[in-house]
Structure 1
């Protein structure tokens, strides 16, 4: 069994950013110092998978009150994150990320032990097509991911059961989102025969899939060594729960800063306004969710952003760019003005308008 892999989001983020905790721990050094030599083969893929997972976590929660921030989680040691819905997502997306990158790198020939999954090649499938090509070997990715992500859970309590369950939900998501890719064979572009194989979906699709699982997660109890639907001994214990993300504790009020439960609050957070064409419904309501519903108000601010522009290729061989500055409008959540300050500002603006009219 692998040595203890500190599998909380916060530790992974610290490791991947090249930092360490007070004991000098990093993901890579843990493998080098305590892990068996076999683990070195996969260490970089595990790290890349964790990084992929965390980037996707931030994307999926970018306009939520809890937004998967580094700072909100960096204080926690393993298994001290609250056993709530957000921690469930962390475990699921992390296990999925590691499995995903291991599987992808396997198909690319990064490991001697695996390559394409040719198990079904040559077999006929319903619909008249034939298995062929290079299917991604998800069985390999799943097996190695399980050794890493599940290896840390040595306990037999409710928390360990929850973590292992959500790790499994994450790995299942990789399987459930795989896509079938086909190639036609025939004269003059006809599709007389068709060869198909299974391929990993984009990791974004896995993130979307798991975010839906997060929203429908079940609160559970731990009864006689099994996870059971909260306050119930229903049959869902053995059927539906296997497919669902589960949690043990309710989430805190993420509107307010509360570092003991990993909440940075929404004060100072950016939200979106204006209803642009590229904004979805969830993004359009971000100012209400992050500001108004939390007792704050969205404040319009302008800031200047400098970036490279007008880039040109010069022979040979360099690219030269200008530096362009543009004014960007943003909205951030701020405290509401007190009634006294509001009246004071109204009087001040009124005086300014009268003064301006007098000058004209």
Structure 2
């Protein structure tokens, strides 16, 4: 799967969210044929936004906190493990939204669980969106084509992500003709993200796979891609296939402590950290040390007064009434 140029619009809350099809066409970003289902484009936009929100939540206490530059500068990003995670979660978000909307009957021409019967259905022509390297940049998704024996049924059935994967493939698989190592690795990582449509679960699992991600050498990838089908080639293929459930990357991560505008890195100076020792998240408990002290900064405490609901009561029937209370809280920043 590839990162979408449309992500720029999703983040900036542009007219895309109100009328995605019109925004795409007016900016000449997508070669969308007349008659393409707007519900498909809506699902892709919503899935991308969902992925961004989950990504930023998952990494809010890390040095790399899933900044907007990850999505708006995808064509300039190094193939690091952070990029691998971002690509995978966007793949998951798109597949999740399309799957959910298919099962609701919101997308014309698709249904869900094969076991519920119904005549075989081919992907409707009006849903097809042509490949575009302008749209897809350099990332690609490799998903096996569906067999024509698949059966679909309208609403009231369990989610089946296979249809969503096919749409995502058609929309996102502008394959890099040169098949450079970065594109090869991107195909792998986005396939990891599209394996399931249970988004809460995949979000958590992808964070685990991010921590366990494995580095490939350019030489290994290039040989696996180009060497003839010899015993040596098969051996290298097995090395890559052995990582089929892992996120993989080619470049070591840059220093996220320091501002680097050329790479879209904002640094950790000015970032908020937490001294909530009761947090269940290790990243939050250790955030002041990892974001500030280990990056060469000190921790500054600021007092802040916040308003919150308090003294809430339930009145029959059926209303909850609350007072508004002022509370002094401490906030901590890297300076």
The two structures have a TM-score, normalised by structure 2, of 0.72
Which aligned pairs between 1:160-309 and structure 2 lie closer than 5 A? 160-172=183-195, 174=196, 201=198, 203-220=199-216, 221=218, 222-224=221-223, 226=225, 234=236, 236-276=238-278, 278-307=279-308
Name the SS for the 1:119 alignment partner.
helix
**CA distance in 1 between partners of 2:306 and 2:53 (Å):** 23
**CA distance in 2 between partners of 1:320 and 1:274 (Å):** 29
**CA distance in 2 between partners of 1:209 and 1:120 (Å):** 30
- CA 1:41–1:19 in 2, change beyond 3 Å: closer, same or farther? closer
Name the SS for the 2:75 alignment partner.
coil
Deviation at 1:310, TM superposition (A): 6.6
CA deviation string 1:322-358 (max 9, x = no partner): 6543222111111xxxxxxxxxxxxxxxxxxxxxxxx
The residue that corresponds to 2:166 in the other structure is: 143
User: Structure 1 unaligned runs (5+)?
Assistant: 21-25, 122-132, 175-199, 335-360
Deviation at 1:16, TM superposition (A): 4.3
**CA distance in 2 between partners of 1:274 and 1:113 (Å):** 50
Structure ranking higher on relative contact order (CA contacts 8 Å, 6+ apart): 2
Is the Cα contact below 8 Å between 1:308 and 1:324 reproduced in 2? yes
Deviation at 1:83, TM superposition (A): 1.5
Name the SS for the 2:57 alignment partner.
helix
> 1:50 aligned to 45, 48, 53, which one?
48
**CA distance in 1 between partners of 2:159 and 2:72 (Å):** 37
- CA 1:171–1:256 in 2, change beyond 3 Å: closer, same or farther? same
The residue that corresponds to 1:353 in the other structure is: none
Deviation at 1:52, TM superposition (A): 0.6
User: Structure 2 unaligned runs (5+)?
Assistant: 118-155, 228-234
- CA 1:95–1:12 in 2, change beyond 3 Å: closer, same or farther? same
Deviation at 1:321, TM superposition (A): 7.0
The residue that corresponds to 1:30 in the other structure is: 24
Is the Cα contact below 8 Å between 1:304 and 1:327 reproduced in 2? yes
**CA distance in 2 between partners of 1:48 and 1:327 (Å):** 37
In terms of fraction of residues, the more strand-rich structure is 1
**CA distance in 1 between partners of 2:226 and 2:334 (Å):** 39
Is the Cα contact below 8 Å between 2:79 and 2:251 reproduced in 1? yes
Is the Cα contact below 8 Å between 2:80 and 2:252 reproduced in 1? yes
Deviation at 1:159, TM superposition (A): 2.2
Name the SS for the 1:241 alignment partner.
coil
**CA distance in 2 between partners of 1:218 and 1:227 (Å):** 21
- CA 1:212–1:151 in 2, change beyond 3 Å: closer, same or farther? same
The residue that corresponds to 2:181 in the other structure is: 158
**CA distance in 2 between partners of 1:12 and 1:309 (Å):** 39
The residue that corresponds to 1:89 in the other structure is: 85
**CA distance in 2 between partners of 1:309 and 1:28 (Å):** 45
CA deviation string 1:170-217 (max 9, x = no partner): 112x1xxxxxxxxxxxxxxxxxxxxxxxxx53x222111011111122
The two structures have a TM-score, normalised by structure 1, of 0.67
Deviation at 1:81, TM superposition (A): 1.4
CA deviation string 1:91-144 (max 9, x = no partner): 1000110001111111111123222303278xxxxxxxxxxx833111111111
Residues paired across the two proteins, number:
279
Which aligned pairs between 1:270-349 and structure 2 lie closer than 5 A? 270-276=272-278, 278-307=279-308, 323-334=324-335
Is the Cα contact below 8 Å between 1:158 and 1:227 reproduced in 2? no
Is the Cα contact below 8 Å between 1:58 and 1:69 reproduced in 2? yes
- CA 1:253–1:7 in 2, change beyond 3 Å: closer, same or farther? same
